[in-house]
């Protein structure tokens, strides 16, 4: 097949939904008259993507965000059109590729992609380049041609993988020749063509061009580090010699560079998980220090020092068993994705609300999670959906008046549509609102509460606390809670418009 044939096949047959998403996002981002609202609205059509994008926008990949991004709109303002566009496209690429053919070789290539991205960014940061944030995305998509082909249904992929296994992964020249002989074109040229056809960013296109410049050198070197580490390990002579050459060529201190490169491998594992590629993260090689740290943590869990994530019974310091749910970022993304899937079929508001409560409870790790519904008379709220670790009769007992003199905080949530995060350092004026029967219910625990709107009217609120375990609600928990609220709001707006 020619380059044109492969480009058309991958665009029209294998990844048509991705091609449309890229086209919409790129068209808006490149329009000088487009607003932040237009771009965020295009991304928000995919609820799961929007949720992942907001979470990623607050990670160290984009330090300019300062961890303050809670919506796609704010992400566009703080990070800029180009950064949000590149991030949205990258998320779409990863999602579509991982939905393709399930092959070990594809997962390994994806692991190399994430590792290349973080190593390239580390090298660019040490060299004080101007494209530190952009180079992550460029490194991630550096071999987009190979990723797309391996995820495709083309029967020649199996033949290629079988023949490649005969001579291993060490000879890059041999592999390139095999790729060209099997697929009819050079994979680097296909990556370049796809980057141009799909408008995958100027930094990537420059890195793939015949004259790649410094940015291309950073990515090519990052890729080489990732390949050698995966093949030979971090303690091998081959990786030591490679890092020595890189440090010498870049004029860097070897010990300092080695430390940062090792840290980058852990960052790569974290980023793969953040992008939703959970099967990929374990394939990225660990350093000896990171493995020792992980082994120690696992021993502590086995010994009962740390509660286990999920519904498992954990032992506390007093030796008694207690069911404690800890925050699980991957489960949060799974639940947000489930919400998006609900909206793609026949929408059901009750299933959507129940999924939100489950996501907050199991994903963020809350002891009590409640969606409370406004009564017909609009003078009280009752529990509609409840998940709790301790109180079996919570749903029956959760009923509170909205009279301001009885429950002023709930009156403010429903009447003024105000959200609250009540904790030890909350403003005194907010603390004073927590009184009456509702104050007896929450006790001294931290809690989160947010009004829920449907067709412009407040229909109830989402509530979550950690009353039974006595744990604090951290800023990261509050941000995750808002992400669920945001995706719920998007879903309810869609339902309200149908």
Name all domains of the chain by residue range, CATH numbers in brackets. Answer: 3-289 (1.10.3210.10), 294-323 (no CATH), 329-496 (3.30.450.40)
Answer whether residue 262 shows pLDDT above 90.
Answer: yes
Average pLDDT over residues 183-207: 88
Residue 314 · residue 322 · CB < 8 Å:
yes
C-alpha to C-alpha distance for 146 and 448, rounded to whole angstroms = 45
Between 56-65, 99-108, 113-122, the lowest mean confidence (pLDDT) is in 56-65
Side-by-side strand order, sheet with 380-388: 399-401, 380-388, 368-374, 457-465, 447-454, 420-422
More confident residue, 37 or 377: 377
Burial code (b: 16+ CB inside 10 Å, e: under 16) for 377-394 equals: eeebbebbbbbbbeeeeb
Q: Give residue 152's pLDDT band: very low, low, confident or very high (50, 70, 90).
A: confident
Residue 280 · residue 110 · CB < 8 Å:
yes
Answer whether residue 140 shows pLDDT above 80.
Answer: yes
C-alpha to C-alpha distance for 95 and 277, rounded to whole angstroms = 8
Answer whether residue 256 shows pLDDT above 70.
Answer: yes
pLDDT at 321: 33
Residue 438 · residue 400 · CB < 8 Å:
yes
CA atoms lying within 13 Å on the CB side of residue 465: 19
Residue 224 · residue 147 · CB < 8 Å:
no
Q: Give residue 62's pLDDT band: very low, low, confident or very high (50, 70, 90).
A: low
Average pLDDT over residues 423-446: 90
Work out the angle between the directed axes of helices 81-98 and 132-140 (0-180°, nearest 10): 20
C-alpha to C-alpha distance for 280 and 116, rounded to whole angstroms = 13
Residue 224 · residue 140 · CB < 8 Å:
no
pLDDT at 61: 64
pLDDT at 222: 95
C-alpha to C-alpha distance for 224 and 204, rounded to whole angstroms = 17
C-alpha to C-alpha distance for 9 and 268, rounded to whole angstroms = 31
Residue 323 · residue 311 · CB < 8 Å:
yes
C-alpha to C-alpha distance for 440 and 400, rounded to whole angstroms = 11
Instruction: Please give the distance of CA 224 from its chain centroid, rounded to a whole number.
Output: 26
Tokens standing for residue 295: 């082994």
Between 119-123, 174-178, 276-280, 449-453, the lowest mean confidence (pLDDT) is in 276-280
Question: What one-character-per-residue DSSP string does 184-242 give?
Answer: SS-HHHHHHHHHHHTT--HHHHHHTSSS-HHHHHHHHHHHHHHHHHHHH-TTSHHHHHH
Diameter of the chain by CA atoms? 79
Answer whether residue 474 shows pLDDT above 50.
Answer: yes
| Average pLDDT along the chain | 81
Average pLDDT over residues 410-435: 92
Instruction: Report percent pLDDT > 70 for the chain.
Output: 82
pLDDT at 347: 63
C-alpha to C-alpha distance for 313 and 290, rounded to whole angstroms = 27
Q: Which helix (H) or strand (E) holds 420?
A: strand 420-422
pLDDT at 309: 30
pLDDT at 82: 72
Q: Which helix (H) or strand (E) holds 323?
A: strand 321-323
pLDDT at 128: 86
User: Length of the chain, please?
Assistant: 498
Q: How many CB atoms lie within 10 A of CB 251?
A: 8
CA atoms lying within 13 Å on the CB side of residue 160: 24
More confident residue, 19 or 358: 358
pLDDT in tens, 313-323: 333 433 323 45
Q: How far is CA 322 from CA 127, 157, 307, 331, in A?
A: 50, 50, 9, 21
pLDDT at 196: 87
Bridge partners of 385, per DSSP, are 371
Q: Give residue 221's pLDDT band: very low, low, confident or very high (50, 70, 90).
A: very high
């Amino acid at each position: 097949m020619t380059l044109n044939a492969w480009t058309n096949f991958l665009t029209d047959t294998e990844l048509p939904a991705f091609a449309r998403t890229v086209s919409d996002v790129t068209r808006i981002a490149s329009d000088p008259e487009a607003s932040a609202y237009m771009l965020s609205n295009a991304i928000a059509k995919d609820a799961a993507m929007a949720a992942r994008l907001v979470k990623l926008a607050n990670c160290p990949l984009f330090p300019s965000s300062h961890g303050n991004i809670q919506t796609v709109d704010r992400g566009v303002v703080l990070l800029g059109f180009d950064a949000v566009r590149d991030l949205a496209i990258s998320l779409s690429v990863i999602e579509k590729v991982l939905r393709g053919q399930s092959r070990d070789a594809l997962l390994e290539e994806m692991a190399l992609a994430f590792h290349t991205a973080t190593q390239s960014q580390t090298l660019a940061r040490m060299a004080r380049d101007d494209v530190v944030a952009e180079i992550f995305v460029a490194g991630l998509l550096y071999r987009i041609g190979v990723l797309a082909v391996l995820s495709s249904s083309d029967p020649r992929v199996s033949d290629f993988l079988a023949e490649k296994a005969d001579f291993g992964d060490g000879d890059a020249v041999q592999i390139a020749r095999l790729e060209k002989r099997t697929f009819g074109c050079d994979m680097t040229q296909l990556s370049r063509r796809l980057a141009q056809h799909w408008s995958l960013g100027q930094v990537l296109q420059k890195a793939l061009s015949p004259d790649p410049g410094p940015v291309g050198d950073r990515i090519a070197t990052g890729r080489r580090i990732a390949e050698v580490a995966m093949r030979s390990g971090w303690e091998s002579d081959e990786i030591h010699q490679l890092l020595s050459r890189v440090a010498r060529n870049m004029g860097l201190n070897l010990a300092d560079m080695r430390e940062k490169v090792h840290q980058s491998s852990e960052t790569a594992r974290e980023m793969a998980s953040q992008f939703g590629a959970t099967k990929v993260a374990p394939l990225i090689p660990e350093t000896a220090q990171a493995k020792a740290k992980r082994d120690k943590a696992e021993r502590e869990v086995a010994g009962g020092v740390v509660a286990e994530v999920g519904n498992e019974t954990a032992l506390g310091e007093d030796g008694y068993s207690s069911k404690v749910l800890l925050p699980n970022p991957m489960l949060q993304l799974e639940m947000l994705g489930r919400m998006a899937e609900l909206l793609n079929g026949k929408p059901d508001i009750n299933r959507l609300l129940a999924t939100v409560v489950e996501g907050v409870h199991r994903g963020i790790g809350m002891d009590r999670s409640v969606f409370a519904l406004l009564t017909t008379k609009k003078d009280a709220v009752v529990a509609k959906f409840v998940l709790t670790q301790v109180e079996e009769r919570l749903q029956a007992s959760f009923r509170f008046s909205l009279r301001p003199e009885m429950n002023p905080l709930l009156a403010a949530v429903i009447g003024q549509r105000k959200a609250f995060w009540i904790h030890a350092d909350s403003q005194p004026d907010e603390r004073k609102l927590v009184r009456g029967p509702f104050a007896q219910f929450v006790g001294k625990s931290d809690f989160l509460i947010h009004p829920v709107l449907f067709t412009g009217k407040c229909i109830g609120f989402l509530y979550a606390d950690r009353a039974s375990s006595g744990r604090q609600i951290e800023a990261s928990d509050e941000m995750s809670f808002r992400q669920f609220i945001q995706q719920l709001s998007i879903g309810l707006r869609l339902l309200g418009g149908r």
